[in-house]
Amino acid sequence: MLDLRLLRDDPTFAARARASQRARGESVEAVDELLAADATKRAAQADFERLRAEQKAIGREIPRVNGAEKEALLAKAKDLSAQVKLADERAERAAADQARLLLSIPNVIE
Residue 54 · residue 48 · CB < 8 Å: no
Going by C-alpha positions, the residue among 1, 8, 25 that lies closest to residue 101 is 1
Give the separation between CA 91 and CA 96, rounded to whole angstroms.
9
Give the separation between CA 103 and CA 101, rounded to whole angstroms.
5
Amino acid type, 56: K
Summarize pLDDT for 66-83 with one digit per residue, the tens. Answer: 889 999 999 999 999 999
Summarize pLDDT for 46-61 with one digit per residue, the tens. Answer: 999 999 999 999 999 9
Summarize pLDDT for 7-44 with one digit per residue, the tens. Answer: 999 999 999 999 999 999 999 999 999 999 999 999 99
Q: Which residues contact 102 (CB under 8 A, 6 or more apart)?
A: 1, 2, 4, 34
What is the value of pTM for the model shown? Answer: 0.84
Average pLDDT over residues 74-99: 96
